[in-house]
Amino acid sequence: MTALSRPCLQQLAPSRATQRGRASLTKPRHLRSVVLASTTQALAIEADRLSVSFKGSSGHKQVLKRASLQVPEGSFHILLGPNGCGKSTLLRALGGLLTPDSGTVMVNGPHGFVFQNPDHQLVLPTVAADVAFGLGRLRLAADDVNRRVQQALRAVSMEDFADRPVHTLSGGQKQRAAIAGVLAQDPKVLLLDELTTFLDDDDREGVIRAVKGLVGGPSRVTALWVTHRLEELPEADGASYMEDGRVITTGSPRGIAKHLAKLGARVPMLR
Ligand SMILES: Nc1ncnc2c1ncn2[C@@H]1O[C@H](COP(=O)(O)OP(=O)(O)O)[C@@H](O)[C@H]1O
Ligand SMILES: [Mg+2]
């Protein structure tokens, strides 16, 4: 099945612009052929010309400016860009946490969102209780809940922390517990917003290792990893670079590193 013939499992409600013309739900012919020619793998995420603006005291500010992004299924994809360029806004639009003014989103399969600050995501006193929290709405038998919690904790190497009070964890352990909370719900796509911002190097490595362990495994989980840390680039299967509300370029980590070096950035992997 080609990427474009896949069902849109998460199609955002038509926005003002799409309601008017519906045009943005269909790709122009030339774009369609480019996508088919360049994509050998199915896509887990496809955002097409998303625009988002926010109302502020000084009027509307356009934060996403026809931003488009494609992420192959089963990949660890990094979204890089300077602070304020719109990375979190794009991720939130992908996760259905905000509705764009125009453009379309396809996320192929259930998704889980993990925020920059785990203290905003972990709400219950112990790790196991927290990981089980999101399962409440599924009305599972207690055995199934326990099994899913254990599996999710194992997947991020946190099985020994099940009974630990959340406040005794390090930042990286909290992030891994937050990821487990999302994993227990069996997502196909992980949307991960700057998980390593507040972490030291050891914790950072632990979180990256945990996410990489989930990607490309039998369940073909896809991770979109937002960061502004260039040193994380070599970890990725692919990467995109954003600037001022647009995705400027997408390619291999090395290709993106070279692009950034041309812009004047000191990229550790090219040293
Ligand atoms: N809810 C909001 N209301 C108003 N402005 C916002 C809102 N969310 C983000 N912004 C603005 O949009 C711009 C991009 O923000 P963001 O997507 O968080 O960037 P990044 O994640 O790349 O740092 C920033 O200028 C930010 O202040
Ligand atoms: Mg952000």
Contact 64 CB / ligand 1 (< 6 Å): no
Contact 59 CB / ligand 1 (< 6 Å): no
What would the two tokens of residue 79 be? 């979204």
Cα dihedral 47, 53, 54, 57 in deg (nearest 10): 160
Residues 59-108: pLDDT tens digits?
Answer: 899 999 999 999 999 999 999 999 999 999 999 999 999 999 999 999 99
For 3-109+188-270, CATH gives: 3.40.50.300
Q: Mean pLDDT of all residues in the chain?
A: 84
Domain ranges for the chain, please list them.
3-109+188-270
Centre of ligand 2 to C-alpha 88, Å, is 4
Question: Does residue 3 surpass a pLDDT of 80?
Answer: no
pTM for this model (two decimals): 0.83
What per-residue confidence (pLDDT) applies to 266? 85
Residues 136-180: pLDDT tens digits?
Answer: 888 899 999 999 999 999 989 999 999 999 999 999 999 999 999
Which of 51, 57, 89, 229 has most ligand 1 atoms within 8 Å of CB, for mutation? 89
Contact 86 CB / ligand 1 (< 6 Å): yes
* Position 175, amino acid: Q
Centre of ligand 1 to C-alpha 64, Å, is 9
Residues 26-52: pLDDT tens digits?
Answer: 333 333 333 333 456 799 999 999 999
Centre of ligand 1 to C-alpha 165, Å, is 33
Atom of ligand 1 nearest to the CA of 83: 23
Give the span between the Cα atoms of 245 and 52, in whole angstroms. 9
Mean pLDDT of 111-118: 92
Give Cα separations from 182 to 16, 115, 188 (angstroms).
31, 11, 10
- DSSP letters spanning 127-195: HHHHHHHTTGGG---HHHHHHHHHHHHHHTT-GGGTTSBGGGS-HHHHHHHHHHHHHTT--SEEEEEST
Give the span between the Cα atoms of 11 and 127, in whole angstroms. 33
